[in-house]
Every structure is written in structure tokens, then in C-alpha cells.
Amino acid sequence: MKEKILQALTTFKGYLFSSDKWLHLAAGFIIAFFVGLFGVFYGLCAGIAAAAGKELYDNFSKKGTPEVWDFIFSVVGVLAGVLNVLLARLVFHFIV
């Protein structure tokens, strides 16, 4: 059991420190933030659609490697971008 836990943590650490994952996170953040300035729901939908679309493109075009972790990191970036839009609206008293 201990070996399986260590293997899982090592695998996650490999995903966490992969530079590709941080690019997915940044792309999700940027899309959600800038589209979210026009509407929070639009930013959320656009970011998730872009993340899913990228992985579907990788799957069907065979030009990339579709990975669940890429999608997860993109969605984490989307959520961070949407949260930042909500905070900016709160701080600067934007109308939602």
C-alpha cells in the first residue's frame, strides 16, 4: 500500500512540475479573465470550451497527446481567471 501511495505522489509530482501543465493553466487563466471581463459566465464557458477543444483537437488530429491532466490544469486556470474577474468587479465596483 505504501508503495502505491508513493508511486501516485511521484506521478502527480511529475505532472505538477511539467512546464506543459503550467502553460495550460496560464492559457485557461488568460482566456477566462479577458472573456470574463465581458461576462463572468462567458469567461467560464469560453475557457472550458477552449480546454476541451484543445484536447479533442489533439485526439482527432494526432498532432498532440490528449491528456486528462492538461484539461484539469486548464480548468484550474479558468477557475482562477473567473475568480480574479469577480474580485476585480468587487474591488472596482463593476456592475455584474
Give DSSP secondary structure letters for 30-43: HHHHHHHTT-HHHH
Residue 11 lies in a domain: no
Residue 14 lies in a domain: no
Q: What total of structural domains would you count in the chain?
A: 1
- Collapse the DSSP code of 46 into the 3-class scheme (helix H, G, I; strand E, B; otherwise coil) and give the result: helix
Integer Cα distance of 8 and 44 in angstroms: 30
Q: How confident is the model at residue 56 (pLDDT cuts 50, 70, 90)?
A: very high
Residue 80 lies in a domain: yes
17 has pLDDT over 70 = no
Residue 61 lies in a domain: yes
Q: What is the pLDDT of residue 4?
A: 72
Q: Which domain holds residue 64?
A: 21-92
The CA radius of gyration of the chain, in Å to the nearest whole number, is 16
Residue 72 lies in a domain: yes
